Amino acid sequence: MITTTIEHSRVYGTTARLSHHHGWLKATLRQHGFEWSHSLNAFAAPGTRTWPFDHFKFAKVTRELRRCGFPVKVVVDNARPEVDPIADALTELLDIAYAVQRLGAALAQDMLTRPGRVTAERVKEAQEAVEAAYAKADEIEKRPGVYEHPEMENVWYLLTQGGTAVGLAPF
């Protein structure tokens, strides 16, 4: 028997995990607003992370699955966590991205206004700093729930903008 567990927490939002893969169950979850999350390795309902569990919204999918003979377990934890790991990771990523953007802008400005002061060593140091920031961003992005966050598009835009300003190829 395939069991579906719908869990809600203020850290990861509303997620649905299947005990075994089944095409109809996946289609039903997608029909009711769930999307596959690679970092959570489960189906996630977008936009549910910061809100309390919506019983009415997910009652339809629960009722439909149970009517077709699939057991559904619902676990709700509406407590506000002491620490939000996704928000902390995004804050750290945005800090890194803005620092890279400022570094690139400062180097580009110096190349325009004071080209004699910009040495090859300084350019190389800036490039190494940007590459280290890229590596740190890749590491943080692998944490569960961070990859799918809409802010990641802004983070990678800022990192690419700063990286191209110091002479690196766009990532």
pLDDT score at 77: 82
CA atoms within 13 A on the CB side of 69: 2
Return d(Cα 104, Cα 60) in angstroms, integer: 50
Return d(Cα 101, Cα 130) in angstroms, integer: 9
Describe the crossing of helices 151-165 and 120-141 by its angle, rounded to 10 degrees.
160
pLDDT score at 171: 67
pLDDT score at 41: 83
Residue by residue, DSSP assigns 68-122 as TT--EEEEEE-PPPSS-HHHHHHHHHHHHHHHHHHHHHHHHHHHHH-TTT--HHH
pLDDT score at 13: 84
Q: For the chain (length 171 residues), average pLDDT per consecutive 10?
A: 83 85 85 85 83 83 87 83 76 88 89 86 88 86 75 84 85 67
pTM of the prediction? 0.56
Which of helix, strand or coil describes residue 4? Answer: strand
